[in-house]
Amino acid sequence: MENFKKYIPWTIRIVIAVLFLISAAAKMYPSPYFAISTFEVKQLYPLGFSPEVAVYFSRTLIGIEFALGLLILQPHYLKRFVTPATILMLVVFIIHLTIDTIVHGNSGSCGCFGSLLPMTPVEAIIKNIVAVILLVWLYKLLPAGSDKNNFWILTTVTLAAILGVFMSAPIQPAQHEPATVDAAETIPAGNSEFSTIATEDSTNTTLPAVKIPTTETEPATETKPAADEPAHVKSVYSQYFANADKGKKIIGLFAPGCEHCMDTAKQLTEMKAKNKDFPELEIIFMDEEAEKIPDFFKFAGAQYPYKVIDIITFWKVLGNANDTPGVVYLWNGNKIKEWDGINERKFVASQLMSVYKKSYSQVKK
């Protein structure tokens, strides 16, 4: 029995250390800047943090989580400072999550483990309460006067952890303009079986052309606007595409490496191939794994006009509470229908097919 009690404190310390280290590492998955920026937009902005403060708070918080995960395993000020500080941090998380659950309900991910291990607020509250109980138990098991007293160990580990997070995800200046200016150009197909769509970016480098089957179409002719349509308004997408608010448009909000985004783009390509009157598709890419854009278009089966914007701006355009893939059906700048994520609001091709074929008076019903 004595041997069992002897190992209890170390068991608790290891469990808490693993919990904090995984929590901190998960907030930097799959890549530090992307994960931290997403954490800021989805978790900190709704709490009232300004973008200027959020970039520092997020990195400092993750650094402290790393530090506590390491410090719980060492003997310096373990009972007097490290254990109480760890309990305090968890209590703050519990209070925040409880308020959030009361106000918004037990929906969505709390962000505790980033996108690595999605967890609802209630699940996170239970996890934190269990951790607090273990730490209180640990505090009682640690004998008085057992602490070693080298405070420099605490400060060095904490500062090194915070600095490491800042170095892994350097703060980037806010972008006020689109990261790239891309235009699509269709080369006449003539009598060939395929047409080629090439896209050039602002650096004048041409992406590989993708060949897709085409059907013969009549030359474009100017027609008068139909009377049964919404009034023209200016949408947020017009800052990225000059013609976004003219007529019917489909705006795709995608991450280049997202499999669900690629599947959605492929569905849209198939719809466009089958319907001559299908609205023009324009894509806004998140600036994460942008090197995968050529592969994205190859999988989709066609290449479209696109812009690449920084991660934080992308989330603002998509909607802080929304997720990729995002699809928006615009008509004269009016948002008629939108889809996002992979759950109940996910893109459904038949829904888009139904709504874009309706007149505006039918849509309003």
Q: Helices 83-104 and 121-141 meet at what angle, rounded to 10?
A: 160
Query: Please, are residues 290 and 220 in contact by the beta-carbon 8 Å criterion?
Result: no
Residues 192 and 157 in one domain: no
DSSP 157-200: HHHHHHHHHHHHS---PPP-S-S---EEEEEP-TTSSEEEEEEE
Among 168, 203, 232, where does a domain finish?
168
Residue whose structure tokens are 């608790």 = 12
- Structural domain contains residue 72: yes
Q: 247 is written with which tokens?
A: 């007529």
Distance, in Å, from the CA atom of 271 to the CA atom of 28, rounded to the nearest integer, reads 37
Structural domains counted in the chain? 2
Distance, in Å, from the CA atom of 14 to the CA atom of 70, rounded to the nearest integer, reads 10
pLDDT computed for residue 320 by the predictor: 84
Residues 148-163 have pLDDT tens digits of 999 999 999 999 999 9
- Structural domain contains residue 114: yes
Residues 127 and 259 in one domain: no
Find the CATH number of the domain harbouring 259.
3.40.30.10
Residues 93 and 187 in one domain: no
Residues 199 and 308 in one domain: yes
Residues 30 and 157 in one domain: yes
- Structural domain contains residue 173: no
Distance, in Å, from the CA atom of 154 to the CA atom of 165, rounded to the nearest integer, reads 17
Residues 163 and 187 in one domain: no
Q: Is 222 left (phi over 0), alpha (psi -120 to 50) or beta?
A: beta
Query: Please, are residues 243 and 276 in contact by the beta-carbon 8 Å criterion?
Result: no
Domain range holding 285?
183-217+224-364
- Structural domain contains residue 252: yes
Residues 104 and 193 in one domain: no
- Structural domain contains residue 174: no
- Using DSSP's 3-state secondary structure scheme, residue 220 falls into coil
Distance, in Å, from the CA atom of 121 to the CA atom of 136, rounded to the nearest integer, reads 22
pLDDT (tens digit, 0 to 9) for every residue of the chain, 365 residues total? 566 677 899 999 999 999 999 999 999 988 899 999 988 998 888 888 998 999 999 999 999 999 999 999 999 999 999 999 999 999 999 998 898 888 778 776 666 766 667 788 888 899 999 999 999 999 999 998 889 999 999 999 999 999 999 999 999 876 554 444 444 433 233 333 333 333 334 333 334 444 444 434 344 444 445 568 899 999 999 999 999 999 999 999 999 999 999 999 999 999 999 999 999 999 999 999 999 999 999 999 999 999 999 999 999 999 888 899 999 999 999 999 999 998 889 999 999 999 998 888 888 77
Residues 336 and 189 in one domain: yes
Residues 60 and 116 in one domain: yes
Residues 124 and 18 in one domain: yes
- Structural domain contains residue 305: yes
Distance, in Å, from the CA atom of 322 to the CA atom of 347, rounded to the nearest integer, reads 12
- Structural domain contains residue 288: yes
**CB burial readout 36-62, b (16+ within 10 A) else e:** bbbbbbbbbbeeebeeeebbeebbebb
Residues 101-123 have pLDDT tens digits of 887 787 766 667 666 677 888 88
Residues 187 and 159 in one domain: no
Cβ-in-10-Å burial (0-12, 13-18, 19+) of 299 comes to middle
- Structural domain contains residue 177: no
Residues 45 and 104 in one domain: yes
